[in-house]
């Protein structure tokens, strides 16, 4: 395998891993449920495909390669549905998105917990 493929694959792994961590950090930092759903989108829309592309670059030409492509397509196709279902369920359950600056949101969050 040429070194450039190795470098490209390593870059994909690093970028994908970094985005996954970012999604996790966003999950902790963002103010309310609806904002956190966006953070989960971060790990699914770009991080997963990047990790899978990194994996593909390491693989030989085979049927397995095609299966990894299918996994990527599946993740990309199901992600909006899952995200929408979560948001819709939250709305249906009576939760309303907090709007405005982060300060107002943080206040709202603590008051709803109390």
Partner 1 sequence: MHRLFVAALLLVFWVLLSGHFTTLLLTLGVISMLLVSWFLWRMDRVDGEPSRLYPSIGLVGYLLWLFWCVVKANVDLARRIWQSSLPVQPIWSRLDTKVQTPFEKTLYANSITLTPGTLTTDVHDDHFMVHALSQEGLDELCEGEMERRIRRLGI
Distance of closest approach, residue 12 Cβ to partner 1, in angstroms = 13
Distance of closest approach, residue 52 Cβ to partner 1, in angstroms = 14
Contacts of 97 (CB under 8 A, 6+ apart): 32, 33, 34, 35
Q: Which residues of this chain interact with partner 1, rule CB under 8 A?
A: 18-19, 22, 25-26, 29-32, 34-35, 37-39, 41-42, 45-46, 63, 66-67, 70, 76, 79-81, 83-84, 87-88, 91, 96-102, 105
Residue 59 tokens read as 């693989």
């Amino acid at each position: 395998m040429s070194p450039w493929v190795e470098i490209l694959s390593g870059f994909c792994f690093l970028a994908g891993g970094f985005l996954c961590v970012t999604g996790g950090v966003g999950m902790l930092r963002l103010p309310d449920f609806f904002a956190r759903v966006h953070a989960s989108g971060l790990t699914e829309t770009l991080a997963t495909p990047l990790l899978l592309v990194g994996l593909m670059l390491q693989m030989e030409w085979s049927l397995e390669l095609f299966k990894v492509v299918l996994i990527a397509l599946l993740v990309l196709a199901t992600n909006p549905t899952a995200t929408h279902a979560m948001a819709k369920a939250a709305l249906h359950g009576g939760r309303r998105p907090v709007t405005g600056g982060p300060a107002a949101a943080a206040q709202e969050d603590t008051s709803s917990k109390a």
